[in-house]
A and B are shown apart, each in its own frame.
Chain A
Amino acid sequence: MSAALDNDELAEATRLLRESAAGIAPRGGDRRRVRALRFQPPGFDPALLRAMGEQGWIGLRLPEEKGGAGLGLTALCALAEELGAALAPEPLIPAMLSAALLAAVDAEAPLDGLLSGEALVLTAWQEAPSALAAPGTAEAPRLFIPQAGGASAFLVPVRQGDGMALLLQPAESAELSLQKTQDGGFFGTLRPGSGTPIGTVSPGILADALEEAALATAASLLGVMDQTFTLTLDYLRTRQQFGRPIGSFQALQHRAADLQIQIALSRASIAAAAALLDEGQAPRAERRAAVSRAKARASDAAMLVTRQAIQLHGGIGYTDEADISLYLRKAMVLASQFGSAAMHRRRFAEEAREDEA
């Protein structure tokens, strides 16, 4: 949190952020843009990523002296929620992860390109499914790099003694394979090769950046579930069967109430974790426990809400043509990204202090 901003200014900055997000990628309307981009490399719109760069979003978390906006996690979560609700396929959160690392080693040229949205740098940190830890094994293939087909370079962390060396691997020379994802994007698998060392960070820097990415992804999931629920409520109010709107049936009303509770719990958990991280005083274990709790809740709740949305839409919900399916597919990808619910529950059990209760 920037010390220069008081609470009111911060609330105003967050509100403006939501507004500009809605301007660039609106949550309402049809999903024609999303449909046009899906399964077509690179799986997102580079022009829109540039627009996000121009808005200063890629550098949202960086201090002003590093070319950033100096905003906190509360602001980031608001932005991620809006873009999640809009199903925006642009890899903003992975780009921000790279920005944190490039800024830490003062790698000016790649950082400038990344912050402007012109040259996407993606961090190839992951070596196993459902992980949030980056071991930095030199030879290990790097997995599940989101929207890897659109990167101009990869940042490969490699463990060296107590530090984490960062190797910059240009896309032209990268040994990369792509897999399509349910939401229309692409996961990349990278075989580490001849990257150029650009500096070394402490593993804590990378770990903290991954915490932030996990929390922001939880906020994206909140946006996904919130918009899914809005569309589903509209459907329950209008769809007629047996001469009545189906939303008048008690079985469906009660299910809707249960979904609302899960969304409210997700929102509260994410907001509390963001506030804890912004406040900056809590010990690392407590921060990790809070992030894990938020991500586990958001992953499970988003899967529940999107699954139920398909069920509540009936036959039309099983068609690819109905937009509601796009939200389920998005949740399927984000639920495990930066740690699945099960992984985060295990981590919570290890990290969380037993309450006096």
Chain B
Amino acid sequence: MTDLNAMSDEAFRAEVRRFVEAEYPPELRNPPHRLHWEQGKPWFEKLRARGWVAPGWPRELGGMGLDASKQIILIEEYERHGVARLPDHGVIMLGPLLIRFGTEEQRQRFLPRILAGEDIWCQGYSEPGAGSDLASLRTEAVLDGDHYVVNGQKIWTTLATDANWIFCLVRTDKSAKKQDGISFLLIDMKMPGVTVRPIINLALHDEFCEVFFDNVRVPKENLVGEPNKGWSMAKALLGFERIFLGSPRQSGYALARLKLLAERMGVSDDPDFADRYTRLRMDLEDHKDLYETYVAVLRRGETLGPDVSMLKLHQAELFQRITELMLEIAGEHAGLLEPMEGNRDLHPAGQFIEARPTTIYGGSSEIQRGILAKNVLGLPG
């Protein structure tokens, strides 16, 4: 494979653009919800054939070995084309964690299977009693000889029905302070005692699930890093991907659909609508400028501080405000279950519902405001 890092940014961008325009399945552009593995597989196969499954992994481990600047270009071009996110927890979360904290044996065992699409991973962090307060999680792993015995329940597990492995934060020391007794454990979902139940969300899609563990016996070599150090490892992994939760893509796409809807509803020239639309446009353009300042930090090879919370917070609320204006102008169409006139881009109700979870997932807006207040502004705890 050619060294992509050696290419100029412009040449690399053109290369990515050519690739997605030629190879990305058109029917999968801008899907309204997360793709299941089977739906996204044709695209995964294209990525696999090209060796482009894992942009951030080192080349000697089968990744593209891209530096931060090239990874940003790749994602920008994917976003521009409306490329859907695949079930990618193996590539984005587990891979980097094993590369940094895993044993050689764990890397040899798991990484090639992720690249081959043989193992599909999901993430078991949240629990019914541990959402925003994740460190209070109670799913427990007790050492019994060479195995951990796992009991408990995870929830909001994205695409768990598609996965055959789950990486979990589990409690291994109940006597320690909350963050200190947590370990990082890899669990084969085909083991006896693992049950998955899909949850139908507000969009009537089975995107996330509950996962139950009933005396599941997990070999102790499946623990990553040191016991009771799982929390700090997982936190260290909240790396530069956090910026992409603040990408202007969602809001930009929604604003274009708001414009289309306004034309269809004949309100484009209504002064009240025009003023509100202009405000949203300006919010989006200012957001892009703010986003670019963080991209510039990454391009310089520096790390992001906790203030990146601002991006996610502002993007999510802007996306919601855009879809709220859609509902206001749509009249009775605001109550329709299906898109108007069979046009996927004219679906105010669907867009409104699609925007709801953005202020909840990835750290709710309330949590993000708390982070800003305490870790950025230095307000007392």
Interface set of A (CB-CB < 8 Å, partner B): 233, 236-237, 244-245, 247-248, 250, 252-254, 256-258, 260-261, 264-266, 268-269, 271-272, 293, 296-297, 345-346, 348-349, 352, 354-357
Tell me if B377 counts as interface (CB < 8 A to partner A). yes
Tell me if B199 counts as interface (CB < 8 A to partner A). no
| A293 x B377 contact (CB < 8 A) | no
Q: Please give me the residue from chain B that is nearest to A269 by CB atom.
A: B286
10 shortest interchain CB distances as A-B pairs: A253-B373, A257-B372, A257-B369, A268-B290, A268-B289, A357-B256, A247-B379, A272-B289, A254-B369, A357-B252
Which residues does chain A contribute within 8 Å of B379, judged by CB atoms? 233, 236-237, 247-248, 252-253, 256
| B377 x A256 contact (CB < 8 A) | yes
Which residues does chain B contribute within 8 Å of A293, judged by CB atoms? 282, 285-286
Size class of the contact patch on chain B: 35 or more
Partner of B377, one of A233, A266, A296: A233
Chain A CB within 10 Å, residue with most, of B279, B292, B307, B366? B279
Interface set of B (CB-CB < 8 Å, partner A): 252-253, 255-256, 259, 274-275, 278-279, 281-283, 285-287, 289-290, 292-293, 307, 310, 313-314, 366, 368-370, 372-374, 376-381
| A256 x B373 contact (CB < 8 A) | yes
A237-B380, A261-B310, A345-B279 known; A355-B366 Cβ under 8 A: no
| A297 x B380 contact (CB < 8 A) | no
A261-B310, A296-B282 known; A245-B290 Cβ under 8 A: no
| A265 x B369 contact (CB < 8 A) | no
| A345 x B282 contact (CB < 8 A) | yes
| B310 x A248 contact (CB < 8 A) | no
| A250 x B370 contact (CB < 8 A) | yes
Chain A CB within 10 Å, residue with most, of B286, B293, B374? B286
Which residues does chain A contribute within 8 Å of B279, judged by CB atoms? 345
12 A-B pairs whose Cβ atoms sit less than 8 Å apart in the complex: A250-B370, A256-B373, A256-B377, A257-B377, A258-B369, A264-B310, A265-B314, A272-B289, A293-B285, A349-B278, A352-B285, A355-B281
Distance A236 CA – B378 CA, assembled complex (angstroms): 10
Distance A14 CA – B281 CA, assembled complex (angstroms): 31
Distance A264 CA – B289 CA, assembled complex (angstroms): 10
Partner of B292, one of A237, A272, A346: A272
Q: Please give me the residue from chain A that is nearest to B376 by CB atom.
A: A260
16 new A-B contacts at CB < 8 Å, known A271-B293, A348-B278, A352-B281: A236-B379, A237-B379, A245-B380, A248-B381, A253-B373, A253-B379, A256-B379, A260-B376, A265-B287, A269-B285, A271-B289, A297-B286, A345-B278, A345-B282, A349-B281, A355-B256
A233-B378, A253-B369, A271-B293 known; A355-B278 Cβ under 8 A: no
Distance A264 CA – B373 CA, assembled complex (angstroms): 14
A345-B275, A357-B256 known; A248-B380 Cβ under 8 A: yes
Distance A352 CA – B178 CA, assembled complex (angstroms): 52
CB distance from A187 to the nearest CB of B (A): 28
Which residues does chain B contribute within 8 Å of A258, judged by CB atoms? 369
Which residues does chain A contribute within 8 Å of B286, judged by CB atoms? 265-266, 268-269, 293, 297
B contact face: mostly helix, strand, loop, or mixed: helix
Which residues does chain B contribute within 8 Å of A236, judged by CB atoms? 379
Distance A346 CA – B252 CA, assembled complex (angstroms): 20
| A264 x B380 contact (CB < 8 A) | no
A contact face: mostly helix, strand, loop, or mixed: helix
Distance A266 CA – B310 CA, assembled complex (angstroms): 13
| A260 x B380 contact (CB < 8 A) | no
Q: Please give me the residue from chain B that is nearest to A294 by CB atom.
A: B286
Which residues does chain B contribute within 8 Å of A264, judged by CB atoms? 290, 307, 310
Distance A110 CA – B246 CA, assembled complex (angstroms): 51
Distance A245 CA – B373 CA, assembled complex (angstroms): 13
| B314 x A261 contact (CB < 8 A) | yes
Distance A91 CA – B176 CA, assembled complex (angstroms): 62
Which residues does chain A contribute within 8 Å of B381, judged by CB atoms? 248
CB distance from B253 to the nearest CB of A (A): 7
Which residues does chain B contribute within 8 Å of A248, judged by CB atoms? 379-381
Partner of A260, one of B259, B281, B310: B310
CB distance from B368 to the nearest CB of A (A): 8
CB distance from B364 to the nearest CB of A (A): 12
Distance A345 CA – B275 CA, assembled complex (angstroms): 8
CB distance from A198 to the nearest CB of B (A): 39
Distance A268 CA – B283 CA, assembled complex (angstroms): 12
Q: Please give me the residue from chain B that is nearest to A263 by CB atom.
A: B310
Q: Please give me the residue from chain B that is nearest to A250 by CB atom.
A: B370
Distance A314 CA – B176 CA, assembled complex (angstroms): 42
CB distance from B133 to the nearest CB of A (A): 14
Distance A236 CA – B376 CA, assembled complex (angstroms): 14
Which residues does chain A contribute within 8 Å of B314, judged by CB atoms? 261, 265
Chain A CB within 10 Å, residue with most, of B281, B292, B313, B376? B281
Which residues does chain A contribute within 8 Å of B313, judged by CB atoms? 257, 261
A247-B379, A248-B381, A293-B282 known; A254-B366 Cβ under 8 A: yes
Distance A252 CA – B372 CA, assembled complex (angstroms): 12
Which residues does chain B contribute within 8 Å of A268, judged by CB atoms? 286, 289-290, 292-293
Distance A355 CA – B255 CA, assembled complex (angstroms): 10
Chain A CB within 10 Å, residue with most, of B255, B278, B376? B278
Distance A268 CA – B284 CA, assembled complex (angstroms): 12
CB distance from A274 to the nearest CB of B (A): 11
A264-B290, A357-B256 known; A348-B369 Cβ under 8 A: no
Which residues does chain A contribute within 8 Å of B293, judged by CB atoms? 268, 271
Distance A244 CA – B374 CA, assembled complex (angstroms): 15
Which residues does chain B contribute within 8 Å of A257, judged by CB atoms? 313, 368-370, 372-373, 377
Distance A266 CA – B314 CA, assembled complex (angstroms): 13
| B374 x A253 contact (CB < 8 A) | yes
Q: Please give me the residue from chain B that is nearest to A355 by CB atom.
A: B252
